[in-house]
């Protein structure tokens, strides 16, 4: 799976809006929108914030692991 697909699935499974996700990670909603469209991907620092904010493995967001909690 590509990052945008993984993020979309994560938002759906966790009942999160783009705004709520962006606020938790510390980015603008427009940035999350760009990720979901596949036009951009987060850098290392943002990926780390995502993993820490949601207690999820960074490998999950990278598509290396199927389970968010592994």
The CATH homologous superfamily of the domain defined by 3-62 = lambda repressor-like DNA-binding domains (1.10.260.40)
pLDDT at 70 over 60: no
The full set of domain ranges for the chain reads: 3-62
Backbone angles phi, psi at 6, to 5 degrees: -65, -45
- Model pLDDT, residue 69: 60
- Model pLDDT, residue 65: 80
- Model pLDDT, residue 39: 97
Secondary structure tally for the chain: helices H, strands E: 5, 0
Predicted confidence (pLDDT) per residue in 6-65, tens digit: 999 999 999 999 999 999 999 999 999 999 999 999 999 999 999 999 999 999 999 998
pTM of the predicted protein model:
0.89
- Model pLDDT, residue 68: 60
């Amino acid at each position: 799976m590509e990052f945008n697909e993984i993020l979309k699935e994560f938002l759906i499974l966790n009942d999160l809006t783009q705004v709520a996700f962006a606020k938790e990670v510390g980015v603008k909603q427009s940035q999350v929108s760009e990720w979901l469209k596949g036009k951009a991907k987060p850098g290392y620092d943002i990926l780390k914030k995502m993993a820490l904010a949601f207690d999820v493995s960074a490998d999950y967001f990278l598509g290396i692991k199927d389970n968010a909690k592994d």
